[in-house]
């Protein structure tokens, strides 16, 4: 009895001694001979992703790579547990996406029915996502669990799109964080992340009014420093006010919109219209008045260029320019804005037809 206890303690000690940080070893103990001697065989589990980041657009189908393998190679197949989880780009709690063991899998929460494990070859644990949504941006963790140990890797999913500044109809600095979220959602967009704003700054976005981001910070991008915008002695960059009180403080907001699932177009009227007439004209054309996020996406991603001011769904009047020219505003491409004129004023209108309405 004493000898058996000593053997058991020695085996447990060997198991702990051979555990190396960031590497998972599982141990196969089996009887070796009549003297109850045990033979040890260590197998190392690897988990890896071929890409640290994947770029896509809303509505796309995308595959997030993840594979696992053993060294030395196993003589008989095993079915470890695979779990995918998601850390939103804005931060917050990590959410389970999918759990799988062998051919059995279950998708969870907001991802239910939109994700599955690929399993094209032994060890393939890639996550296939369909019909990407604006809020799917973030870091996805692939965790493989075999017996009592696990190994993981991660892939960052970034959506291609456009960041645009947005303000309340009453003017600058009227939006709390929650109001900023709602304002973006009402305009077919979502709160921009810092990485999205930073990328837009690198592409030339220059805006002197501070706005909320998805992580609760308030920032603004400057490519041409000047006195009213932090001083002309500062280098270009993204200025930050840091985290602000989500209920008490008021700012503008930076929204993010991705690929359109339809078409934005300028409705050529026989005469200009007030806001109510513009809404009716789009409806009669089998469409609806375009939202600000849809116009920005059409300008940035579909190269919409039109030197005609038109109503949008929020009551603002704007027009998109990709080829700057005389009588069409500043010398840089962009979406020009006339703000929020009285609804009885006369303008054209930008309409939006979804993909189903185009058929």
Question: What does each C-alpha distance from 186 to 41, 156, 189, 271 come to in angstroms?
Answer: 60, 27, 7, 28
High-pLDDT (> 70) share of the chain, %: 87
pLDDT at 227: 86
Tell me which of 22-26, 154-158, 215-219, 285-289 is least confident: 22-26
Phi and psi at residue 16, to the nearest 5°: -70, -40
pLDDT higher than 80, residue 11: no
Reported as a single tens digit per residue, the pLDDT across 109-119 is 999 999 999 99
CA distance 277 to 345: 11
The answer to whether the beta carbons of residues 83 and 66 sit under 8 Å apart is no
Per-residue confidence at 3, pLDDT binned at 50, 70, 90?
very low
The answer to whether the beta carbons of residues 62 and 54 sit under 8 Å apart is yes
pLDDT at 359: 55
The answer to whether the beta carbons of residues 322 and 307 sit under 8 Å apart is no
Q: Which residue has the higher pLDDT, 149 or 71?
A: 71
pLDDT at 40: 32
Residue with tokens 């965790």: 143
pLDDT at 27: 39
pLDDT higher than 50, residue 137: yes
Residues 194-215, mean pLDDT to the nearest whole number: 95
pLDDT higher than 50, residue 271: yes
Q: Could you please report the per-residue DSSP string of 285-303?
A: TT-EEPPHHHHHHHHHHS-
* Residue 359 structure tokens: 């058929």
Calculated CA dihedral for residues 132, 134, 138, 140, nearest 10 degrees? -20
pLDDT at 253: 98
For the chain, give the longest Cα–Cα distance.
100
Look up the pTM and report it: 0.78
Q: Which residue has the higher pLDDT, 54 or 23?
A: 54
pLDDT higher than 70, residue 18: no
* Residue 264 structure tokens: 């934005």
pLDDT at 128: 98
pLDDT higher than 50, residue 29: no
* Residue 45 structure tokens: 């589990």
Reported as a single tens digit per residue, the pLDDT across 67-111 is 999 998 888 888 999 999 999 987 788 999 999 999 999 999 999
Reported as a single tens digit per residue, the pLDDT across 290-347 is 999 999 999 999 999 999 999 999 999 999 999 999 999 999 999 999 999 999 999 9
Per-residue confidence at 30, pLDDT binned at 50, 70, 90?
very low
Residues 232-238, mean pLDDT to the nearest whole number: 88
pLDDT at 358: 61
């Amino acid at each position: 009895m004493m000898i058996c206890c000593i053997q058991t303690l020695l085996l447990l000690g060997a198991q702990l001694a051979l555990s190396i940080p960031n590497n998972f070893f599982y141990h196969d103990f089996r009887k070796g001979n009549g003297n109850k001697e045990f033979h040890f065989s260590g197998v190392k589990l690897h988990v890896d992703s071929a890409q640290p980041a994947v770029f896509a657009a809303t509505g796309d189908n995308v595959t997030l790579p993840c594979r696992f393998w053993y060294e030395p190679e196993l003589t008989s197949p095993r079915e470890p547990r695979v779990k995918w989880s998601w850390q939103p780009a804005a931060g917050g709690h990590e959410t389970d996406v999918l759990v799988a063991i062998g051919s059995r899998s279950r998708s969870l929460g907001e991802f239910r029915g939109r994700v599955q494990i690929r399993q094209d070859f032994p060890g393939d644990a890639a996550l296939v996502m369909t019909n990407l949504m604006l809020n799917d941006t973030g870091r996805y963790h692939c965790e493989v669990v075999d017996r009592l140990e696990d190994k993981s890797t991660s892939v960052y999913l970034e959506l291609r799109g456009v960041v645009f500044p947005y303000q309340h109809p009453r003017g600058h600095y009227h939006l709390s964080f929650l109001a900023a979220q709602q304002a973006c959602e009402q305009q077919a967009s979502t709160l921009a992340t810092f990485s999205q704003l930073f990328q837009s700054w690198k592409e030339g976005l220059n805006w002197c009014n501070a706005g909320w981001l998805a992580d609760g910070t308030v920032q603004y991008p400057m490519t041409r420093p000047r006195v009213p915008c932090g001083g002309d002695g500062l280098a270009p960059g993204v200025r930050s006010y840091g985290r602000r009180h989500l209920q008490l403080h008021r700012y503008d907001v930076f929204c993010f919109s991705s690929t359109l699932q339809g078409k934005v177009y300028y409705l050529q009227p026989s005469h200009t219209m007030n806001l109510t007439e513009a809404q009716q004209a789009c409806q009669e054309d089998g469409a609806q008045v375009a939202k600000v996020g849809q116009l920005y996406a059409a300008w940035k991603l579909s190269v919409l260029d039109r030197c005609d001011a038109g109503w949008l769904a929020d009551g603002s009047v704007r027009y998109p320019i990709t080829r700057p020219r005389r009588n069409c505003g500043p010398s840089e491409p962009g979406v020009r804005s006339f703000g929020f004129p009285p609804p009885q004023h006369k303008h054209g209108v930008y309409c939006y037809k979804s993909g189903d309405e185009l058929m």
